[in-house]
Structure 1
């Protein structure tokens, strides 16, 4: 699957999709982003069953603000609409492949149960 450009019109639809979605948050002036771009594209090409997107932080300031992205590049990883990774920095190809492998093996039922338990705990503390 080709890497898609992410903007405010398609962001929610893309990140809430089922399966694995990775988002590279970048800027044209960022040297590390320019170095990371080809790595990201190669990994995307190896995983056509997953969605890969690029978010131009200069043009999508609303999303950047909502996600509180302070450093670039930043990698976001969602699975079944749940954010599993928010990590600034450059990733070597091997590390990025490892991140994809780990995302594939996550027990999403356990993640959902943990989220529900945390929401219940916060609700009890508030009430």
Structure 2
């Protein structure tokens, strides 16, 4: 059974910073590609129990969509340990979405955190 969390402005930050991998789908009910991608997203949520899958309806959460710089839907964002690792617009076929999930899962987060720390200190 699909386990997908609906996010709003209040729950977005706490969800993506909780730790672990979080995939967020920004979508809209009127968006054809969003409706095409929905079954792929739902199937992945059933197969990857170690990943948090979440959706943001941009019509119900325009402020969040604006803050996240979402200009077209669907837009996918992938976070690990609160760090945005991927953002892309457009519906992905199942195979490409699986590749994205695998790539995000294989990122060396110690290296990413070191790069973020270096960028924040200006080194």
- Could you tell me which residue of structure 1 aligns to residue 80 of structure 2? 79
Aligned residues: CA RMSD: 1.2
The question of 1:112 aligning with 2:76 is answered no
The structure with the largest alpha-carbon Rg is 1
* Structure-2-length-normalised TM-score: 0.95
Q: Stretches of 4+ moved more than 3 A in 1? A: none
Deviation by residue 1:84-118 (Cα, 9 ceiling, x = unmatched): 01111110111111111111111001001111112
Q: Say how many residue pairs are matched.
A: 122
In structure 1, list runs of 5 or more residues that go unmatched: none
Structure 2 residues not aligned, in runs of 5+:
none
Separation in structure 2 between the aligned mates of residue 81 and residue 65 of structure 1, nearest angstrom: 19
Find the counterpart in structure 2 of residue 89 from structure 1.
90
Q: TM-score, normalised by structure 1?
A: 0.92
Show the counterpart of 2:37: 36
Classify the secondary structure of the residue corresponding to 1:70. Answer: coil
